[in-house]
């Protein structure tokens, strides 16, 4: 359940990045750029999530690595798809 909530939070954060891209640039190119900037920010958040899982929840790094992969890749893939769609328009 926690993993689904983190992924959902990533999708919401992506939406905020795109919204701010629209507010700052008011063009689809600015929104696509904001979606691309989301990916490194999300990588940092996913790594912090892994660090919390290892240091506070007691999981091993080996157990957390697949979770890190899923938690990072799903919102990042949505971000790349959004950037591609916005870049076309």
Number of domains in the chain: 1
- pLDDT at res. 66: 96
Task: Report whether pLDDT(87) > 90.
Answer: no
Residues 6+ apart with CB under 8 A from 11: 75, 78
- Could you report the per-residue pLDDT of 33-65, keeping only the tens digit for each? 999 999 999 999 999 999 999 999 999 999 999
pTM here? 0.91
* Nearest of 39, 20, 22, 43 to residue 86 by alpha carbon: 22
Asked whether the beta carbons of 47 and 64 are under 8 A apart, the reply is: no
Q: Which range of residues forms the domain containing residue 64?
A: 2-88
Burial class of residue 58 in the structure, from the number of CB atoms within 10 Å of its CB (0-12 exposed, 13-18 middle, 19+ buried): exposed
- Residues 20-32: what's their mean pLDDT? 91
Confidence of residue 11 (pLDDT cuts 50, 70, 90): very high
């Amino acid at each position: 359940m926690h993993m689904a909530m983190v992924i959902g939070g990533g999708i919401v954060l992506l939406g905020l990045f795109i919204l701010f891209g629209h507010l700052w640039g008011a063009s689809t190119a600015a929104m696509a750029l904001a979606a691309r900037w989301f990916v490194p920010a999300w990588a940092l958040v996913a790594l912090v999530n892994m660090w919390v899982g290892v240091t506070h929840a007691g999981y091993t790094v080996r157990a957390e690595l697949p979770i890190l992969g899923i938690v990072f890749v799903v919102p990042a893939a949505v971000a790349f798809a959004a950037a591609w769609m916005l870049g076309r328009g």
